[in-house]
Amino acid sequence: MPDMNFILKRAVSEIISEDELQKLLASGQKLRLKEGFDPSSTDIHLGHMVGLRKLRQFQDLGHQVVLIVGDWTARIGDPTGASVTRPMLTAEQVKANAETYMQQFFKIVDKSKTEVRWQSEWFGNFTLADVIKLASRFTIAQMLAREDFKKRFESNRPITITEFLYPLLQAYDSVMVRSDVEFGGNDQKFNLLVGRELQAMIGQAPQQVFLTPILTGTDGTKKMSKSLGNYIGVAETPADIFGKVMSIGDDLIIQYFDLLTDVTEEELRHFERDMLSGRTNPMLLKKRIALEIVSQLYSASDAGGAELAFERVHQRRELPAEVPECQVSFRSMRAGDCTQIDLPCLLVVAGLAGSKSEAKRLIEQGGVSVEGEKVTGEKVTLRSGCVIKAGKRKFTRVVDTDILGAS
């Protein structure tokens, strides 16, 4: 188990107040550690994993995690980092997302040491009087102190009243669960401080604020985000997680080690020196990161298997040990009166692309091959049983059902 200095310093942006938190920890009190998630989508990615790993470390010390499922705030949408008003979700969308979200959450955090609370427990009976009473405790000036609100206000972009309510509702969660420490990414600082302030207003001990760094996405520039497509999901297969980690730029290696693994500070500095001097091949370090992450989310055996699969497909240019089969009528895939196959349509049917436009982009970018030969056009001649590869990690063996039916 990591020591306390490691827990309070590694993968930590800021603690408010660290002195107060140190005193709470020294008291022997079992702390209530709050983290809220808005199920506005179905996936948790490695960016979320940074904070979840921290929660797990505190759980292992005997503290209680309180997971807030934001079934009300998700309908508003947290505007943090957004330049426009976000669309509101329905209760049905939120519930469906939450079911998947919870399964992924407990791949990292110990379920037996987690108290799950839904905002609807208290907001379901909220009256207009309650909303007005809560809103009256804060001013517009306080809300505009938040950077994203300030920028939108100054550039005359719309801000809805519901968005002003978002940090207040999140703060009220802290009151209802009597949070001792709230965890969040450093872009959540404003919201977490509002919770600390509201608790003090009503006579509770103000929560400590524990902020973690933002993980850079696989594109190497922006924060990891599903909407940006630069994310690695914790529920993806071991092979996909391994492959995506291997695709990160060399300049992200130390950050990923720092935020997502428990390798020692000494090892980190050693890795950094060896990369700068050219004594270590960055690919070897990325394999180490990928093995560490897959082992955390699955098992060491799964990590080893993912490594072998990566070496087979990407280093030796061989086919995966198992290639999924897609049975489809070649006749139905013909491009109009042509005897050739409409490749974008086939890629969508085979699950290798989410849409025809995505399939066409893959082909234009040289990301599609048939039997190892790159395809440049949208019409192709195929034989039953051939293997199609789309992107770096998707394969399928297409079988013509017209032939199957005739045999």
Residues 65-96: pLDDT tens digits?
999 988 887 776 655 545 444 566 777 888 88
| pLDDT recorded at residue 78 | 57
Q: What is the CATH number of domain 4-212?
A: 3.40.50.620
Residues 7-60: pLDDT tens digits?
999 999 999 999 999 999 999 999 999 999 887 777 889 999 999 999 999 999
Cβ atoms within 10 A of the Cβ of 322, count?
9
Extract the tokens encoding 362: 């893959």
Tell me if 403 sits within 8 A of 332, measured CB to CB: no
| pLDDT recorded at residue 83 | 44
State the Cα–Cα distance between residues 162 and 199, nearest whole angstrom: 21
Q: What is the CATH number of domain 325-406?
A: 3.10.290.10
Residue ranges for the chain with pLDDT beneath 50: 81, 83-85, 407
CA atoms in the 13 A half-sphere facing the CB of 346: 36
Residue ranges of the domains in the chain?
4-212, 238-315, 325-406
Residues making up the binding site for ATP: 226
pTM of the model: 0.77
DSSP E strands: which ranges in 60-168? 64-69, 114-118
How many angstroms separate the first and last alpha carbons of the chain?
Answer: 62
- CATH of the structural domain 238-315, one choice from 3.90.1150.10, 3.40.50.150, 1.10.240.10, 1.10.3720.10: 1.10.240.10
| pLDDT recorded at residue 84 | 46
Element (H, E) at 25: helix 18-26
Residues making up the binding site: 226
Residue labelled with tokens 């979840």: 52
Element (H, E) at 292: helix 282-297
Task: Say how far residue 291 (Cα) sits from the centre of its chain.
Answer: 18
